[in-house]
Amino acid sequence: MEKYVYISGASMRLQMDNQRMIAAGLANQNTVGFKRDYGIVSSTYFNQDDASDRVFPSRGNSSVDLESGKIIPTDNPLDVSIEGDGFFVGKTTSGDSVLTRRGDMRMGPDRILRNGEGLAMQGDGGDITIPPAQSIEITHDGSVAVVPPGADTNAAPVVVGRLQLVQATADNVQKGPDGLLRLKDNSAPASDANITLNTKGLESSNINSIDSMVEMLNSSRTFEIHVKLLATAKELDDQTAKLMRSSQ
């Protein structure tokens, strides 16, 4: 009976984790470039001479689904999305380097190019600073070009920096408590000149709301089943106790 109750309780805990993960994804389904999480569950066998054999369910670190989202066309020359695999490199306010797929760029009050998360977008030489300009655009290779104030209408744009675009394998990417992506081995990936951008378009999240709702319902039903199993276990225990008292 003890093992019966333990298995049900452990399963309920894992289903609660699943619910939190799914809910976080649904809350970010409209967040540009958001990547959903999924948990990895494994079994750990416990066997010692002074204890009964047990199999402990354990959840490893959450993994990140790097599947690309859909491209949403815009007319904004600062909206870009990565074509295929790859990441932008950004810097947090604390100076940490992170990876991101979010390409809704804008010029901050400090004239540094930032995305919608407020990350300072990194170029090959660090922060990309935008000088005074009458227009700004980002090209397919990640170059940030401006037309200086007072220039002729047909004047060629001047490149002031190039977004750092890097590759990283899915097994080396993890999401931190702040929701930002980092490399597990803390390495500094080299720029990849083969990565190209879609201009005037943003990548949506890779959350499928219908699939997520189905997953949430299945998780909820599984949780309810184990609640009923615990109730059944209590009933069986009560009946067993009555039988033992009546036999005395």
Residues 179 and 123 reside in one and the same domain = yes
CA–CA distance from 158 to each of 47, 106, 138, 153 (Å)? Answer: 68, 18, 11, 13
Residues 103 and 151 reside in one and the same domain = yes
- pLDDT mean over 85-98: 94
- Give the residue numbers spanning the domain of 193: 71-203
pLDDT for residue 51 is more than 60: no
Residues 51 and 38 reside in one and the same domain = yes
Model confidence at 177, pLDDT cuts 50, 70, 90, reads: confident
pLDDT for residue 43 is more than 70: no
Residues 83 and 177 reside in one and the same domain = yes
Count other Cβ atoms within 10 Å, centred on residue 203.
Answer: 24
3-class state of residue 90 by DSSP: strand
Q: Is 49 exposed, middle or buried (0-12, 13-18, 19+ CB in 10 A)?
A: exposed
CB 222 within 8 A of CB 215: no
- Rounded distance between C-alpha atoms, residue 161 and residue 176, angstroms: 29
Residues 9 and 127 reside in one and the same domain = no
Count other Cβ atoms within 10 Å, centred on residue 79.
Answer: 22
Task: Measure CA 152 to chain center.
Answer: 44
Residues 47 and 83 reside in one and the same domain = no
- Rounded distance between C-alpha atoms, residue 143 and residue 75, angstroms: 18
- pLDDT mean over 14-30: 88
Model confidence at 121, pLDDT cuts 50, 70, 90, reads: very high
Residues 167 and 186 reside in one and the same domain = yes
Instruction: Give the global pTM.
Output: 0.80
Q: What is the pLDDT of residue 105?
A: 96
According to DSSP, residue 98 is labeled E
- Number of domains present in the structure of the chain: 2
pLDDT for residue 153 is more than 80: no
184, 203, 222 - which closes a domain:
203
pLDDT for residue 16 is more than 90: no
Q: What is the pLDDT of residue 91?
A: 95
Residues 130 and 179 reside in one and the same domain = yes
3-class state of residue 52 by DSSP: strand
Model confidence at 152, pLDDT cuts 50, 70, 90, reads: confident
Instruction: State the average pLDDT for the chain.
Output: 87
Residues 108 and 229 reside in one and the same domain = no
Q: Which of 154, 180, 33, 195 is nearest to 97 (CA)?
A: 180
Residues 115 and 218 reside in one and the same domain = no
Residues 189 and 81 reside in one and the same domain = yes
Q: What is the pLDDT of residue 57?
A: 67
Residues 48 and 80 reside in one and the same domain = no
